[in-house]
Amino acid sequence: MEKLKKVLLPVSLIATLLGVWSVIVTRSGSAIFPTPWKVVTGTAELISDGTMFDHIGASLLRVAAGFLLATVIALPLGLWMGRVSVVYTTLNPVFQILRPISPIAWIPIAILWFGIGDTSPIFLIFISSVFPLVVQTATGVHSIEPRFLQAAENFGVPRWKLYLKVIWPAALPQVIVGMRISLGVAWLVVVAAEMIALRSGLGYMIIDARNAGNRYDLVVSGMVVIGLIGLLLDALMRRLEGLKSVRWRYAQ
């Protein structure tokens, strides 16, 4: 019954919102803004000619490249910062200054440095992902109870093994939280970057639909697809919380 309730409640809310949307558009007599059915038919049109999948694939590839690059750099750097106080004291102020800067503000610089192409959005995704992931990883290391580290040091555990067997497993729950945050921001950023500097991807699809005859059915279709993919990416990241090496953190 509980599982059924978790499904029925959001489905009922979505159905209600769609009904309200349809009634408002119909009664207002809007000739531009689409009804839900027009969005469905527009989506079917994009799927039938393969356009939708091409744009989705382009956006996902850019996010994957930028996010993986950020992960490769942020995780070891965050572990290092969390473990070595001098490194943390030196680098943390710089990251705290750069982290609040909106990734959108980097778009002119990205275009200046890398031109109009795939490199610019990948750079923007990297910038948006690396800072929160570094900070969250360092926070995960700082949250480790000192007695665990002291016990390992008393037994003469080598440094590499200390990182692998003690620090990494203890910090992993916080790392996954940072990855969820970073991936969500990365998905937002790639759509914004594609609206400005590219000719493929979901962001470009939305702007192109707006410019090519006010196809707002395709605009809303792109928005819905972006939301659904964002939900799916977050759900996939949440699956990592079920790993045996992470599950202990969520026992409560």
Instruction: Provide, rounded to the nearest whole percent, the portion of the chain with pLDDT above 70.
Output: 87
Task: Kindly state the tokens that stand for 245.
Answer: 């090496």
Please determine, for residue 78, whether its predicted confidence score (pLDDT) is greater than 60.
yes
Is there a domain that residue 29 lies in? no
Best CA proximity match to 67, nearest among 225, 236, 190: 190
Q: Is residue 130 part of a domain?
A: yes
Residue 10 lies in a domain: no
- Tens digit of each residue's pLDDT (9 = 90 or more) over 15-48: 888 888 888 888 887 778 888 888 888 889 888 8
Domain of 96, CATH number, reads 1.10.3720.10
Please report whether residue 19 resides in a domain.
Answer: no
Q: Is 33 among the domain residues?
A: no
Mean pLDDT, residues 244-250: 57
pLDDT at residue 61, rounded to an integer = 92
- Is residue 248's pLDDT more than 60? no
Contact 228, 220 (CB under 8 A): no
CA angle 198, 200, 206 (to 5 degrees): 90
Please compute Rg for the chain using Cα positions: 22
Give the type of residue at 66.
Answer: G
pLDDT digits (tens, 9 = 90+) for 108-134: 888 888 888 888 889 999 998 998 899
**Stretch 74-95: mean pLDDT:** 88
Task: With respect to residue 31, please indicate whether it lies within any of the assigned structural domains.
Answer: no
Residue 251 has pLDDT above 60, yes or no: no
Q: Is the pLDDT of residue 179 over 50?
A: yes
Domain-embedded: residue 161: yes
Question: Domain range for residue 228?
Answer: 46-250
As for how many domains the chain has, the answer is 1
- Quick one: average pLDDT of 185-195? 85
> Does the residue 26 lie in any domain?
no
